Amino acid sequence: MTGVSGPVTYPRCVRLVLARCKVDYVGRLTAHLPMANRLLLIKADGSVSVHSDDRAYKPLNWMSPPCWLLEDGDVWTVQNKAGERLVITIDALIDELNHDLGAEPGLVKDGVEAHLQELLAEQVNTLGAGYSLVRREYPTAIGPVDLLVKDGDGGTVAVEVKRRGELDGVEQLTRYLELLNRDPLIAPVQGVFAAQQIKPQAKTLAEDRGIRCVTLDYDAMRGIEPDEFRLF
Amino acid sequence: MTGVSGPVTYPRCVRLVLARCKVDYVGRLTAHLPMANRLLLIKADGSVSVHSDDRAYKPLNWMSPPCWLLEDGDVWTVQNKAGERLVITIDALIDELNHDLGAEPGLVKDGVEAHLQELLAEQVNTLGAGYSLVRREYPTAIGPVDLLVKDGDGGTVAVEVKRRGELDGVEQLTRYLELLNRDPLIAPVQGVFAAQQIKPQAKTLAEDRGIRCVTLDYDAMRGIEPDEFRLF
DNA sequence: ACGTCCATGTCGTGT
DNA sequence: ACACGACGTGGACGT
């Protein structure tokens, strides 16, 4: 009805609306939803998502924060700074539920790539006798190498760590190796592709390029003391 | 042409539950959510997702269909065939809302990569005078090349079409070119990287590898008749 | 079932 | 702001 201007504070409330509506999105692409019953989920972060009763957790349409919802009668317009627009036209409200959920303590994860890398950094001799860590996230012009290590003979080795080893990871390591091997101060650099699971194509491509593949056992690694402690 | 997924009828209801709960996921990784108020969204497709009041449309935890929800008192266990488990322990139910949304007519999209590829296939002379289409999705052992075309001199050209041109796309085209150029019947094959927007690094890498970069204007292409019609 | 690739990917991190 | 890489990526499509 009336235009809203100035700073908008979101109610600390999740808002669930069941409504018969149609939706149009114009942004990175254009998309249209014909009139039908849907769930509109408006979160305290300002996000709006339009759900049907399928597609798992993915909405049919959505707008991510930061964005702004303007309710003008039965036309709800959600817009972001980039000019993307989500226009929801309400034909009929079916039901609505609001509630303040309070603070979210946060999700705790274990077993992501960072943990693998951390464990392998502590246990580089998993890769071979006499191996030692130079550093994690070794910086290069095209991004950091997961682990830079020395083998038993003092040769340099670049290690790419993945949970799941696929083609992309091999390409990534290949780019690093190309770059590192152009530097006469550090060349020659060998490559190691280390992952919990390595897809056959990735293994083939890697070995075709002279990259050694190592399969990691996260549970075993988690149970093993760091290299330093094992010296005693 | 249009991304229409036909209407699907589900017999059940969307179920919205506000509850104080804790959640544990054990599967591809392990994750834990301490006790707090959350939105549980159970869809007719069987999916379960646990939302806080932020994170845009992404749930904190979820299980995708096909999966099965077992409610045993205040302990809800969702499980899939791979043995991944989501255990939701309910401390208190706050509110609940159920409704049969009925059939979803389906989302219609316009402007995805497939449309770009389709338009460029009709207008290959955008790439150069005398260019002609051999075929879309030209099959190779490592996947289909978006467009295979002939240039004005009868030389073969492999085209990779992207909405946004990034490094991955260049790597992808490079793999195709390597493979195609090993086949004496078709070699030499030139590469063209065509996208609505090409990132500077992708452009640099592509041109370093002798791949030509072409920026596409989707709106303009949509307004242009196919090559065949323009011959008259 | 596996491989490949697109996605309004989203999200964090470092520059 | 941009670039880069991880993600329980998810999902579609082809073999």
CATH code, B206: 3.40.1350.10
Which residues sit opposite B47 in a β-bridge?
A: none
Contact B107 A51 (CB under 8 A): no
CA atoms in the 13 A half-sphere facing the CB of B57:
18
Spacing of C-alpha A86 from chain mean position:
25
Q: Which of B101, B112, B174 to mutate to test the interface with A (most CBs of A within 10 A)?
A: B101
* Residues 7-36 of chain B sitting with CB below 7 angstroms of strand C: none
Give the full edge-to-edge strand order of the sheet including B156-165.
B132-138, B145-150, B156-165, B189-198, B212-215
Of the candidates A58, A45, A49, the residue with the CA atom closest to the CA atom of residue A23: A49
| Same domain for B178 and B142 | yes
| Phi and psi at residue B150, to the nearest 5° | -110, 140
Average pLDDT, stretch A30-52? 97
A142 touches strand C (CB under 7 A): no
Average pLDDT, stretch A4-18? 67
| Positions of strand C less than 7 angstroms from a protein CB | 2-11, 15
- At residue A4 the predicted structure's pLDDT band, cuts being 50, 70 and 90, is very low
Among chain A residues, the shortest Cα distance to B50 is held by A57
Q: Could you tell me if residue A72 is inside a domain?
A: yes
CB B125 within 8 A of CB B134: no
| Same domain for B200 and B95 | no
| Same domain for A150 and A126 | yes
- At residue A226 the predicted structure's pLDDT band, cuts being 50, 70 and 90, is low
Two tokens, residue A173: 């390591």
Average pLDDT of the residues of chain A: 90
CB count, 10 Å around CB of A22? 16
Q: Could you tell me if residue B167 is inside a domain?
A: yes
CB B23 within 8 A of CB B86: yes
* Residues 30-49 of chain A sitting with CB below 7 angstroms of strand C: 31
What CATH number is given to the structural domain containing B90? 2.70.180.20
Among chain A residues, the shortest Cα distance to B39 is held by A101
Is the confidence at residue A205, as pLDDT, over 80?
Answer: yes
d(CA B192, CA B148): 10
Measured between CB atoms, which of A37, A45, A52 is closest to B54?
A45
Is the confidence at residue A5, as pLDDT, over 70?
Answer: no
| Same domain for B150 and B176 | yes
Which domain covers residue B122, as residue numbers? 113-230
| Cβ neighbourhood burial of B73 (10 Å; 0-12, 13-18, 19+) | exposed
A181 touches strand D (CB under 7 A): no
CB A18 within 8 A of CB A96: yes
d(CA B133, CA A192): 42
d(CA A143, CA A137): 9
Among chain A residues, the shortest Cα distance to B10 is held by A53
Q: Could you tell me if residue B105 is inside a domain?
A: no
Of the candidates B192, B187, B156, B155, the residue with the CA atom closest to the CA atom of residue B172: B192
Is the confidence at residue A2, as pLDDT, over 60?
Answer: no
Q: List the A27 CA – D1 C1' distance (angstroms).
A: 20
Contact A56 B64 (CB under 8 A): yes
Q: Could you tell me if residue B225 is inside a domain?
A: yes
Q: What is the pLDDT of residue B11?
A: 55
User: Which chain A residues are Cβ-neighbours of B10 within 8 angstroms?
Assistant: 53-54
Q: Could you tell me if residue A105 is inside a domain?
A: no
| Same domain for B217 and B119 | yes
| Same domain for A216 and A123 | yes
Contact B54 A43 (CB under 8 A): yes
Q: List the A224 CA – C6 C1' distance (angstroms).
A: 40
Average pLDDT, stretch A146-175? 94
Is the confidence at residue A227, as pLDDT, over 70?
Answer: no
Of the candidates B136, B135, B176, B129, the residue with the CA atom closest to the CA atom of residue B151: B129
Is the confidence at residue A232, as pLDDT, over 60?
Answer: no
Q: Which of A99, A134, A150 is the last residue of a domain?
A: A99
Q: What is the pLDDT of residue B12?
A: 79
d(CA B129, CA B204): 25
Which residue ranges of chain B lie beneath pLDDT 50?
1-10, 229-232
Is the confidence at residue A193, as pLDDT, over 90?
Answer: yes
User: Which chain A residues are Cβ-neighbours of B206 within 8 angstroms?
Assistant: none
| Phi and psi at residue B70, to the nearest 5° | -115, 120
Q: Could you tell me if residue A106 is inside a domain?
A: no
pLDDT of A50-62, one tens digit each?
999 999 999 999 9
| Same domain for B224 and B135 | yes
B122 touches strand C (CB under 7 A): no
CB count, 10 Å around CB of B181? 16
d(CA A39, CA A37): 7
- At residue A143 the predicted structure's pLDDT band, cuts being 50, 70 and 90, is confident
Contact B37 A101 (CB under 8 A): yes
Q: Which of A99, A129, A156 is the last residue of a domain?
A: A99
| Same domain for A80 and A125 | no
The nearest CA of chain A is from the CA of B218 a distance in Å of: 10
| Same domain for A21 and A85 | yes
d(CA B195, CA B176): 17
Q: State which H helix or E strand residue A75 sits in.
A: strand A75-80
| Same domain for B92 and B200 | no
Q: What is the pLDDT of residue B204?
A: 87
- Nucleotide at minimal C1' distance from the A25 CA: C8
| Same domain for B77 and B125 | no
The nearest CA of chain B is from the CA of A231 a distance in Å of: 31
- At residue A140 the predicted structure's pLDDT band, cuts being 50, 70 and 90, is confident
Measured between CB atoms, which of B10, B38, B55 is closest to A54?
B10
| Same domain for A93 and A158 | no
| Positions of strand D less than 7 angstroms from a protein CB | 3-12, 14-15
Contact A107 B31 (CB under 8 A): yes
d(CA B227, CA B19): 60
User: Which chain A residues are Cβ-neighbours of B107 within 8 angstroms?
Assistant: 31-33, 60-61
More confident residue, B226 or A228: B226
Q: What is the pLDDT of residue A225?
A: 62
Q: Could you tell me if residue B192 is inside a domain?
A: yes
d(CA B164, CA B116): 11
Q: Could you tell me if residue A144 is inside a domain?
A: yes
User: Which chain A residues are Cβ-neighbours of B92 within 8 angstroms?
Assistant: none
Q: Which of B18, B107, B197 to mutate to test the interface with A (most CBs of A within 10 A)?
A: B107
- At residue A230 the predicted structure's pLDDT band, cuts being 50, 70 and 90, is very low
Residue A47 makes CB contacts below 8 A (sequence gap 6+) with: A41, A62, A63, A64, A65, A67, B54, B56, B57
Q: What is the pLDDT of residue B223?
A: 84
Number of domains in chain B: 2
Average pLDDT, stretch A39-65? 97
